[in-house]
Amino acid sequence: MRKRIYLSPPHLGGEEITYVKEAFDANWVAPLGPHVEAFERECAKHAGVRSALALSSGTAAAELASILMGVNGGDTFFCSSLTFIATLAPLVRRGAVPAFIDSEPSSWNMSPSALRDAFNDAAERGVMPKAVVIVNLYGQSCDMDEILGICASYGVPVLEDAAESLGALCKGRQTGSFGRFSFYSFNGNKIITTAGGGMLLSDDDESVERARFLSAQARDKAPWYQHSELGFNFRMSNILAGIGRAQLKLLPERVDARRAVFGRYAYALSGSPGIEFMPEPDWSRSSRWLTAMTIDPATAGTTSMKLMEAMSSENIESRPVWKPMHLQPVFEGAKYYKHEGRDVSGGLFENGLCVPSGSNLTPEDQEAVISVIRRELRP
Ligand SMILES: *Cc1c(COP(=O)(O)O)cnc(C)c1O
């Protein structure tokens, strides 16, 4: 049987080992160290923000951001429904209550009109959310102008989950720079990886310094271990930061490669009835972290689930579009604001599929994926 074709495997460039060796040679095998500081500087520069904090995961960054925004038990917050649970689990674990915002069809990200509905509702009831959590899905930015404008008009801070959108632009500006706090993830399946890790980003250096303090067990300035509050053990190791530095240099190439993968799928399958690709609005330059499409069962002659099974039997990994949070058992009963009366994110889940999208996907392997899809479609 053919070697497995993965959805989004790591893609090393070769220079990572040089950075790791540097750490070994200097005996900087520790959390913190020169690679960590350099990686923070390089990520801040990439995003065009003042401050960055390297952490053990993107989820850790969301946890710290929720503390910095003062999200506590009993507070409410708005969150994009179409996402991975890591976006909001830290806020919910703090006791805050989510209200979910639908996607809009042109970007698959947060619908400005549904967000307006949610704010109108909140204003009527006199309970403003503590934060709005936006997500840049599959490498594509939200409609930042609209969304940030609405949030600013209510004075509510934005947390930007840019875990999937490192390297993607909104109107020429890097994602990861739009939130009061933003974060990247360097998990193994993301566009660049440190095996596991995350980066908190903000122009508010004072808050980032507070996050730095909390991320290393909240040690008071004293010669002994003294604590006036509770912190976390969330720092990134010097070795992993070395991997990240080498990977970050390759980011522009990785974005180009993912976009090329998307382009080949779109070219090969355009004109197939019932297949539509995730659109790219004119203000967006997606990194195409994952190539995502919808399959309309009425015209395609197959379903996303059948396609997934067909690929699986050929040892090809694919995955449904995220199951929206308003449909998750754990959030049963949560408020949900639809896009102009339609459940857009629910529809994307029902018919959506992500196909192998790695920057190291070979043309031959991609051809194999395409031929399975073609075989399953109505002739
Ligand atoms: C991967 C991911 C995260 C979490 O990042 P980790 O580094 O794995 O904790 C958060 N949000 C989204 C949308 C993601 O895809």
**CA 194 to centroid of ligand 1, rounded, Å:** 13
Alpha-carbon distance of 196 to 89, in angstroms, equals: 18
Residue-wise pLDDT tens digits, 366-376? 999 999 999 99
Q: Which of 7, 43, 56, 87 to mutate to test the pocket of ligand 1 (most atoms within 8 A of CB)?
A: 87
Q: Is the pLDDT reported for residue 379 higher than 80? A: no
Averaged over 70-89, what is the pLDDT?
A: 97
Q: What number of residues does the chain have?
A: 379
Pair of tokens at residue 345: 């994110």
Give the model's pLDDT for residue 32: 83
Which residue has a Cα nearest atom 8 of ligand 1?
Answer: 187
**pTM, two decimal places:** 0.97
Q: Which of 135, 165, 62, 169 is nearest to 53 (CA)?
A: 62
Alpha carbon nearest to ligand 1 atom 5, residue? 58
| Ligand 1: nearest atom to the Cα of 137 | 13
Task: Output the six-digit token pair for 211.
Answer: 């996050």
Report the distance separating Cα 104 and Cα 326, nearest Å. 15
**Edge-to-edge strand ranges of the sheet holding 173-174:** 173-174, 169-170, 284-285
Of 185, 189, 194, the residue with max ligand 1 atoms within 8 A of its CB, to mutate for a pocket test, comes to 185
Provide the pLDDT for residue 178. Answer: 98
Centre of ligand 1 to C-alpha 184, Å, is 8
Token duo for residue 224: 């002994």
Determine how many CB atoms are found less than 10 A away from the CB of residue 312.
12
Distance 185 CA to ligand 1 centre (A): 6
The pLDDT score that the predictor gives to residue 217 is 97
| Pick from 251, 203, 210: nearest CA to 234 | 210
Give the ligand 1 atom nearest the CA of 189.
1
**Which atom of ligand 1 is found nearest the CA of 198?**
7
By mean pLDDT, which of 65-69, 254-258, 268-272 is the weakest? Answer: 268-272
Amino acid at 168: A
Confidence (pLDDT) at 30: 82
Reference 143, options 103, 180, 100, 181; nearest CA is 103
Whether 282 has a pLDDT exceeding 80, the answer reads yes
For residue 364, what are its two tokens?
A: 């031959």
Q: Please determine, for residue 97, whether its predicted confidence score (pLDDT) is greater than 90.
A: yes
- In which band, very low, low, confident or very high, does the pLDDT at 378 lie, cut at 50, 70 and 90? confident
Task: State CA 194 to chain mean position distance.
Answer: 15
Average pLDDT, the chain: 97
Q: Tell me, in angstroms, the distance from the centre of ligand 1 to residue 234's CA.
A: 15
**59, 79, 141: residue to mutate for ligand 1 pocket, most atoms within 8 A of CB:** 59
User: Edge-to-edge, what's the strand order for the sheet holding 291-295?
Assistant: 275-277, 291-295, 352-355, 319-320
Domains defined along the chain, listed by start: 16-250 (3.40.640.10), 252-376 (3.90.1150.10)
Q: Is the pLDDT of residue 167 over 80?
A: yes
User: How large is the C-alpha radius of gyration of the chain?
Assistant: 21
* Residue 1 clears pLDDT 90, i.e. is over it: no
Which residue matches tokens 């706090």? 181
**For 78-83, what is the mean pLDDT?**
98
* Å from CA of 35 to ligand 1 middle: 22
DSSP string, 338-370: -BTTB-HHHHHHHHEEEE---TT--HHHHHHHH
Identify the pLDDT of residue 270. 87
Calculate how far, in angstroms, residue 374's C-alpha sits from the geometric centre of ligand 1: 32
| For ligand 1, mutation pick of 84, 194, 247 (most atoms within 8 Å of CB) | 84
Residue 239 CB neighbour total at 10 angstroms? 23
Nearest to 114 by CA among 72, 74, 87, 143: 143
Q: Looking at residue 31, what is its pLDDT? A: 80
The pLDDT assigned to 29 comes to: 87
Which pLDDT score, from 0 to 100, does residue 353 have?
Answer: 98
Looking at residue 286, its pLDDT comes to 98
Residues with Cβ within 6 A of ligand 1? 57-59, 83-84, 86-87, 135, 161, 163-164, 185, 187, 198
Nearest CA to ligand 1 atom 6: 58
Q: For residue 262, what pLDDT is reported?
A: 98
Residue 271 pLDDT = 86
CA 59 – ligand 1 centroid, Å:
6
Measured from the Cα of 196, ligand 1's closest atom is 7
